[in-house]
């Protein structure tokens, strides 16, 4: 969505149909999680974000193309690489950390989130990337929290992370104009407060507490190993490689991956309060299923806890002090 706003494509409308979206001839159709029964019709980016429409953002990914996705990713601190192998190397990212010296930056450097934007990326790849799958799947919770924080920043800036109390704030990149950041916050508010918002019900207690929040549900599939029910260890198969004369080159054990039953991870990004955000949250529940059911309730609880701790101003809620425990002696 940020890439669409930066490219001036935020007013583009697409159709979500029961037949799915075909990004390329011969490619599998892209549906929403409800399959052919989940149809959103002809919609804009605000409604697509509110209902978490895969088909809309798949079409937006194709329309944006690799170069626009690359530019937006780099502004957000996400590494854009030409090939999948380059994207999986796991580079550390000290430059996104604000610290008093380089040693602290190197010690705390997070692993870089990555996407692939090289010439080998197809229309179908772009469609998958558009809604967070395929070559856009190498995201970290920290990076997603930073993406939310960028929209939450009143000036549209991505600020560097820091841990030292007296370290002055530092900007990583100016990502969005002020007006566009404000519009994105409004759209994020639809997820938790809109009539069709995917986290509307979960955030009802937050709304009842007088807090307007914004968010985004997400669901990711991850191929995981097949585990032995008795030992709990990943199953392996023995592999033997031979040359063209039949001589053994090497032998090794390969972990068996369950390609038919990927693990379903739930995500939720959150900003609160939406009028002037003080916190940005990214929650992932591995194996939790839909983000609206697993990750969003955790984010909602964290927002209420932040309120109790005084993050949103006002008086801090009293914290009960436990009675001292008496030690037993023998």
Residue pLDDT, tens place only, 280-290: 999 999 999 88
Region 9-18: mean pLDDT is 97
Residue pLDDT, tens place only, 153-200: 999 999 999 999 999 999 999 999 999 999 999 999 999 999 999 999
Of 323 and 259, more confident: 259
Instruction: Tell whether the model's pLDDT for residue 251 goes beyond 60.
Output: yes
pLDDT classification of 67: cutoffs 50, 70, 90: very high
Instruction: Tell whether the model's pLDDT for residue 17 goes beyond 90.
Output: yes
pLDDT of residue 83: 94
Least confident of 39-53, 82-96, 293-307: 82-96
User: Which contiguous run of DSSP H or E holds residue 76?
Assistant: none
pLDDT of residue 155: 97
Residue-averaged pLDDT of the chain = 92
pLDDT classification of 313: cutoffs 50, 70, 90: confident
Give ranges for CATH 3.40.710.10 in the chain: 170-223+262-311
Residue given tokens 């030992």 in the structure block? 231
Q: Where does the chain have alpha helices with state H?
A: 2-6, 45-51, 54-75, 84-87, 102-108, 123-130, 141-152, 178-193, 204-208, 291-308
CA distance 117 to 129: 10
Long-range contacts at 235-241 (CB < 8 A, ≥ 24 apart): none
pLDDT of residue 260: 84
Residue pLDDT, tens place only, 210-237: 999 999 999 888 888 889 999 999 999 9
Instruction: Tell whether the model's pLDDT for residue 318 goes beyond 70.
Output: no
Of 170 and 258, more confident: 170
Count of alpha carbons within 13 angstroms of residue 291, beta-carbon side: 25
The percentage of the chain sitting over the pLDDT mark of 70, rounded to a whole number, equals 95
With 0-12 / 13-18 / 19 or more C-beta atoms within 10 angstroms meaning exposed / middle / buried, residue 2 is buried
Buried b (16+ CB within 10 A) or exposed e, 185-200: bebbbbbbbbeebbbb
CA distance 149 to 142: 10
Minimal CA–CA distance to 83: which of 112, 113, 111, 121? 121
Instruction: Tell whether the model's pLDDT for residue 330 goes beyond 50.
Output: no
Grouping H, G, I as helix, E, B as strand and the rest as coil, residue 159 is strand
Q: Which two tokens stand for residue 187?
A: 């759209």
pLDDT classification of 9: cutoffs 50, 70, 90: very high
Of 90 and 268, more confident: 268
Phi, psi of 264 (to 5 degrees): -105, 115
CATH placement of domain 170-223+262-311: 3.40.710.10
CA distance 107 to 119: 34
Residue given tokens 């990750």 in the structure block? 295
CA distance 45 to 53: 9
Between the alpha carbon of residue 165 and those of residues 36, 48, 98, 159, the distances in Å are: 52, 39, 11, 15
Q: Are 63 and 96 in contact (CB under 8 A)?
A: no
Neighbouring CB atoms inside 10 A of 119's CB total 7
């Amino acid at each position: 969505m940020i890439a669409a706003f930066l490219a001036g494509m935020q007013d583009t409308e697409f159709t979500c149909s029961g037949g799915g979206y075909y990004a390329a001839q011969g490619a599998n159709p892209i549906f929403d999680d409800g399959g052919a029964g989940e149809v959103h019709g002809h919609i804009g980016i605000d409604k697509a974000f509110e209902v978490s429409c895969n088909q809309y953002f798949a079409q937006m990914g194709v329309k944006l193309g690799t170069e626009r996705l690359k530019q937006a990713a780099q502004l957000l601190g996400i590494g854009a690489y030409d090939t999948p192998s380059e994207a999986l190397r796991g580079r550390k990212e000290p430059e996104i950390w604000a610290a008093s010296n380089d040693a602290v930056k190197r010690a705390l450097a997070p692993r870089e989130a990555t996407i692939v934007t090289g010439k080998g990326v197809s229309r179908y790849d772009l469609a998958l990337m558009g809604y967070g799958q395929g070559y856009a799947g190498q995201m970290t919770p920290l990076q997603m929290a930073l993406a939310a924080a960028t929209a939450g920043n009143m000036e549209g800036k991505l600020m560097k992370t820091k841990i030292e109390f007296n370290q002055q704030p530092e900007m990583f990149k100016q990502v969005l104009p002020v007006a566009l950041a404000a519009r994105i916050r409004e759209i994020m508010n639809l997820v938790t407060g809109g009539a069709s918002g995917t986290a509307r019900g979960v955030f009802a207690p937050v709304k009842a507490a007088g807090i307007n929040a914004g968010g985004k549900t997400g669901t990711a599939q991850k191929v995981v190993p097949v585990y032995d029910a008795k030992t709990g260890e990943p199953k392996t198969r023995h592999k033997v490689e031979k040359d063209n004369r039949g001589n053994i080159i090497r032998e090794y054990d390969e972990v068996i991956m369950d390609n038919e039953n990927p693990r379903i991870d739930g995500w939720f990004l959150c900003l609160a309060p939406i009028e002037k955000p003080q916190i940005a949250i990214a929650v992932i529940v591995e194996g939790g299923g839909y983000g609206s059911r697993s990750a969003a309730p955790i984010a909602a609880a964290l927002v209420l806890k932040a309120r109790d701790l005084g993050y949103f101003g006002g008086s801090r809620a009293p914290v009960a002090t436990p009675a001292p425990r008496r030690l037993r002696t023998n």
